[in-house]
Amino acid sequence: MAAERNVFKEEDLRYLRLLAKKYPNINSASTEIINLEAILNLPKGTEHFVSDIHGEYESFNHVLKNASGVIKNQISAIFGSEMRESEKKSLATLIYYPEQKLEQVAESEEEMEDWYRITLHRLVTICKVLGSKYSRSKVRKSLPKDYAYILEELLHENKEGNKQLYFNEIIDTIIRLYQADRFIIAMAHLIQRLAVDQLHVIGDIYDRGPKASKIMDRLAAYHSVDIQWGNHDISWMGAAAGCQALICNVIRIQARYANLDTIEEDYGINLIPLATFAMETYGDDPCENFMPKLSAGQLMSDKDAKLIAKMHKAIFILQLKEEAKIILRNPEFRMENRLLLGNMDLEKGTVVVDGKEYTLNDTNFPTVDPSCPYELTEEEEEVMAKIKSSFLNSEKLQEHVRLLYTKGSLYKKFNSNLMFHGCIPMNADGSLKTVNFRGEKLAGQEYFDAVDQAVREGYFNQAHSESKRASMDLIWYLWCGEDSPVFGKKKMTTFERYFIDDPESHHEEKNPFYTLRNQEEVCQEILRDFGMDPQRSHIINGHVPVKVVKGESPIKANGRLFVIDGGFAKAYQKVTGIAGYTLIYNSHGLVLVSHEPFESMEKAIAEEKDILSSTVALQYSQERIRVMNTDIGAELRANINDLEQLLVAYRKGIIKESELK
């Protein structure tokens, strides 16, 4: 705040008077400055980065619970040789799954009182270490209400003098009153809470795996999370807004991976109209190209598989027609080469794609009229209207999509890291590509900001308005358009993969970004464009699986960019060879963690099998990063500056002190 000759500007005074309502006198303002200055010197909180979860709830949930190895590492660091490795594994499993592990212990442990006493002391010790990098106020807010007072006493235990008896008596009383189980559960959840300060999800929560809805529930309850939208998230966001092409796309992908339960059971969307229509229209069609892809261990009757295949084909033809409407009313998308239903010659059994004729492996298109191939039949119109109504009126879906809007964005800048899911559209020479978007020529951050706004308009604009429809069309373009930051390919060859056997037609040319991101100078130029320090900042990216089995590294551009999609989704694990990368950014630096496939929660509990993970310290220092070096630190410094100006105003009599209410 500026002051000339001890006189504040009027706009500064207006702000200071508002601030004075919260800090009404010199003492309260001074106390807050002291508090904020102290916080600046605490170690920065641990950030946890995950990406491309794709509905795999169990493995994602376990990675959240073990904080990508943070909790296991803390147990080893705290207890060292005091505990056997088997005891450390048991303690870690108890922290991850306290309710289930306690049941197992009760069946096998003979001296439960001793076990409770030892375990409670160990959990208190872990809580104290993890809580030591937060202010006492922040830890207090994290405590479970039922045990807040007792936990606060234990966490600030002083083992000297008579207080040792006091603390031992607390533990003994907890056990005597049969509260130990509940107390252990509360402490385990507190440890999980303190282990990670901020969770970053770099896109693609939805599709492929079966439990995206449970993941969204988990994120909704998480203490601090941000989400960078992936292309699959964008698809669901558009579907929830009412984009008919994306409604079809969402159903198609769920049918492809035999996950229609996500739509029907989790979100309560009625697919009976589609099933009835599919049986009537494709009753004699084997729909072999549309049989669901089952993951390992997934079972399905032949009858159910055949029904899903017919629904799958029916919704895909609907999708092609709905997409054609968008392409035809948006010539600026330059996607006329995707209008392939009109390029088919069903008598010859061929289709022309980009000027080349290919043989079709399926010529049964009973709802496609060659004279007007993109018009929906009367039955298709009826099915589409009913399904759309179900999507728009699904309370659970709308709740989850609103969370994506509230907690999400196309990109995020936080603590010297630039996070986004897909790509920055680029030219082959390494320059940022200029995109014609809504009548403007935009590139880099300006383009991202405009796209982010368009996505929000597509959901929140007035229903049935032309502006809402135009924004929904843009959301669809983000799913499969050439200049989409979350897609990043010349075209999406979905039609070709279903109907053409020739693999040449399946090729999808990636944006140059995916090659150029290996060059440090290119990444530095991107960081400059986003207003970040190119020497200190990093890019954290997802979207394209890292093919570890072929020797690919997730560390690009001399450590300037990290790709943390290694393959949470089981569908990708044959390609990647692992089950995902995550990233930890703690007060010592960056740690990349690779994970082996997660077997099951049951095995994790019964056999105490944690995910086998490997870590690589990317930038590690014994000198800890403090809050003052973070974005939050910059905000706190600004708050301190404002409070110091308020003190000046009090001391010069410009603003009068008042009593705290």
Predicted TM-score (pTM) of this structure: 0.91
Task: Record the tokens describing residue 529, joined without a space.
Answer: 């464009």
Please check the confidence at residue 600 and state whether its pLDDT lies above 80. no
387 in a domain, yes or no? Answer: yes
β-strand partners of 626 = 43
Domain extent for 37: 3-41+629-651
Indicate if 249 and 350 belong to the same structural domain. Answer: yes
Count the helix, strand and coil residues of the chain and give each as a percent rounded to the nearest 5.
Answer: 55, 10, 35
Burial class (CB in 10 A: 0-12, 13-18, 19+), 222: middle
pLDDT exceeds cutoff 70 at 617: no
Distance CA 523, CA 500 (A): 38
| Structure-block tokens of residue 417 | 């890291």
- Domain identity same for 605 and 641: no
Give the pLDDT band (50/70/90) at residue 110: confident
- Coil, strand, or helix at residue 530? coil
Q: Does residue 640 lie within any of the structural domains?
A: yes
Alpha carbons 240 and 250: distance in angstroms, whole number:
10
Beta pairing partners, 531: none
| Phi-psi map region of 431: left, alpha, beta (phi>0 left; psi -120 to 50 alpha) | beta
**In angstroms, rounded to a whole number, what is the distance separating the alpha carbons of residues 106 and 115?**
10
- Judging by DSSP bridges, how do beta strands 440-442 and 613-620 pair with one another? unpaired
Mean pLDDT, to the nearest integer, of 51-77?
Answer: 91
375, 392, 409: which is the final residue of a domain? 392
Single residue among 339, 369, 392 that ends a domain in this structure: 392
% of the chain residues with pLDDT over 70: 94
- Tell me, yes or no, whether 325 lies in a domain: yes
pLDDT category at 59 given cuts 50, 70, 90 is: confident
- Looking at the fold, whether 28 and 124 belong to one and the same domain comes out as no
In angstroms, the CA 139 to CA 223 distance is: 12
pLDDT tens figures, 253-300: 999 999 999 999 999 999 999 999 999 999 999 999 999 998 777 889
Residue 314 Cα to chain centre, angstroms: 31
The span from the CA of 125 to the CA of 157, in Å, is: 10
In a domain, 659, yes or no: no
CA separation for the pair 350, 552 (Å, rounded): 38
Amino acid residing at 53: I
Q: Quick one: 14 and 149 in the same domain?
A: no
Do residue 101 and residue 234 come from a single domain? no
Instruction: Give the residues across from 440 on adjacent strands.
Output: 437
| Rounded distance between C-alpha atoms, residue 288 and residue 498, angstroms | 10
Residues 141, 75 share a domain: yes
pLDDT band, residue 580 (cuts 50/70/90): confident
Place of tokens 């009027």: 10
CB of 642 closer than 8 Å to CB of 650:
no
Q: What is the pLDDT of residue 549?
A: 66
Which tokens in the block code for residue 161?
Answer: 């003098």
Q: What is the pLDDT, as a whole number, of residue 4? A: 45
Residue 660, pLDDT above cutoff 60: no
Which of residues 392, 419, 450 is at a domain's end?
A: 392
Instruction: Establish if 584 belongs to a structural domain.
Output: yes
pLDDT above 90 coverage of the chain, percent: 72
How many whole angstroms separate alpha carbon 48 and alpha carbon 195? 10
Give whichever of 4-13, 62-71, 106-115, 494-503 has the largest mean pLDDT. 494-503
Same domain, 12 and 57: no
The tokens describing 548, both together, are 């570890």
SS (H, E, C) 25-87: CHHHHHHHHHHHHHHHCCECCCEEEECCCCCCHHHHHHHHHHHHHHHHHHHHHHHHHHCCHHH
Burial class (CB in 10 A: 0-12, 13-18, 19+), 500: buried
Whether residue 61 sits in one domain with residue 27 = no
Q: What is the pLDDT of residues 448-478, one digit of tens each?
A: 999 999 999 999 998 889 999 999 999 999 9
pLDDT band (50, 70, 90) for residue 570: low
Give the pLDDT score at 1.
47
Please indicate, yes or no, if residue 453 is contained in any of the structural domains.
no
Over the stretch 317-329, which tens digit does the pLDDT of each residue have?
999 999 999 999 9
Residue 536 is assigned to a structural domain of this protein: no
Q: Are residues 72 and 9 in the same domain?
A: no
Q: How confident is the model at residue 142 (pLDDT cuts 50, 70, 90)?
A: confident
**Same domain for 86 and 167:** yes
Q: Are residues 100 and 245 part of one domain?
A: no
Cα separation, 207 vs 216, in Å, equals 12
Domain assignment present for 546: yes
Number of independent structural domains in the chain: 3
Domain match, 235 and 361 both: yes
Token digits of residue 594: 């690779």
Task: Identify whether the C-beta of residue 613 lies closer than 8 Å to the C-beta of residue 595.
Answer: yes
Residue 582 has pLDDT above 50, yes or no: yes
Q: Residue 287's closest CA among 263, 309, 315, 254?
A: 309
Q: Which residue did the predictor score with more confidence, 621 or 397? A: 397
